[in-house]
Chains A and B, each alone.
Chain A
Amino acid sequence: MKFRDSQSIYLQIAERICDEILGNKFPPGERIPSIREYAAMVEVNANTVVRSYDWLQQHEIIFNKRGIGYYVSPDGKNRIREIRRVRFFEDELPLFFNRLYTLGISIDEIDRRYNEYKKASLHVDDDAVDIK
């Protein structure tokens, strides 16, 4: 795994696991690899993965069955989406608005393009639209 320099590695690994959960590599209720297996997979120190799993547990994305291993929470996908939605509104949207503003792009144009995008990807990513 190639890491970025800007964010701590344990959070990058947690993000990767979130992507894997959303992508159904680890479906809700299923076991995820052990800390050591995951550490070997991404070639990091196991203590780093301990922190990633702690973070995922705190956010109720995964849970620990004592002595058996870690499992994806039944509601794991929605938890991830909630976290990412908050982050989107707080961090990404202001940057996006800044772009619209400086480039003189109207919200109406964005609305039109977004509707086209939704039509085009309707069947590609069913899972993403069926929430709510």
Chain B
Amino acid sequence: MLKVEEMTFSYKRNEYLLNRLNFDITPGGVYGLLGKNGSGKSTLLYLMTGLMFPKIGHIYIDGIEPRKRLPDMLSQLYLLPEEYDLPATSVDEFVKRNAAFYPRFSREDFDRYMDIFDLESVKNMQRVSMGQKKKYLVSFALATNTALLFMDEPTNGMDIPSKSQFRKAIALGMNDERSIVISTHQVRDLESMIDRVLILHNHSMLLNESTLRIAEKLEFVNTTDKEELDGCIYSAFTPAGFVGVRPNTTGAETPVDLEVLFNAIITNPETITNRFV
């Protein structure tokens, strides 16, 4: 669906932010785009949606480069940026103005997501809190039913109940024809929702794997007994005990701990990535 080929991007001359990225986004996944602050997550989202252009290499959405900004292609993708302004209009007016760009937009779906988030149809969207604004936009984004949906740190500004509502909305909004790419550095919020992991670090895409395959290759250990960390590639001490990750030799499946995976991969990139060659 989306293909990135040898794509390089820099804001400054001779200083690459993203260097020769190669990866695919296929339909039917909730992608977690993970990376430290300043690693280029947002930039990558802008590149994939045609807001910025690669310096070298290409991005293709169904064979067409997003930089061309063809209306047909644009109607099949939606980007929810981290920061945005909403017009001083009612919710209905906002929907009327924006839904026209998305042929598969469903008002019924929009109402259902509003319901999940406990939102009311307010008269002026500018006068609601930041967290509320985000929930209106997430509802709208999901209801566009675009094949590609990009969200930049969508849970920022959301309170605790909203994060749970957000997970419900994503679970309902997902289907085999669409892919949702969510950039986040708050992995805990979304851990159970993500089924493909993209890790951006040191200008490269270090990992693009399904959680299924990660669980096949790696075993995540959670223990109070330090001895049990035997064979771990990476381990850390937490208030509850120890966490670690090691090659999966038993074949049994443990839940993927994204925080441990992320820390393991940035402290010891090759040991992890070599397991997925």
Contacts and interface: CB of A to CB of B under 8 A. Distances in A.
A8 interface: yes
Contact of B167 (A6, A8, A43): A43
Interface residues of B, number: 22
Contact of A9 (B30, B164, B174, B255): B255
B195 A45 contact: yes
Contacts of A117: none
B164 A43 contact: yes
A57 B215 CA distance: 22
Contacts of B116: 40
Contact of A6 (B28, B171, B195, B222): B222
B149 to A, nearest CB: 15
Interface in A33-47: 36-37, 39-41, 43-47
A51 to B, nearest CB: 8
B193 interface: yes
A109 interface: no
Contacts of A5: 220, 222, 254-255, 257
Contact of B195 (A8, A37, A43, A48): A48
Contacts of A44: 167, 171, 192-193
B120 interface: no
B161 to A, nearest CB: 12
Interface string B149-173: 0000000000000001001110110
A60 to B, nearest CB: 22
Given A5-B220, A40-B171, A40-B172, A45 B194 contact: yes
B174 A45 contact: yes
B24 interface: no
A3 B191 CA distance: 11
Contacts of A7: 254-255
A45 B254 contact: no
B253 interface: yes
Nearest to A49: B171
A112 to B, nearest CB: 36
Query: In this complex, which of B172, B193, B220, B255 has the most chain A Cβ atoms within 10 angstroms of its Cβ?
Result: B255
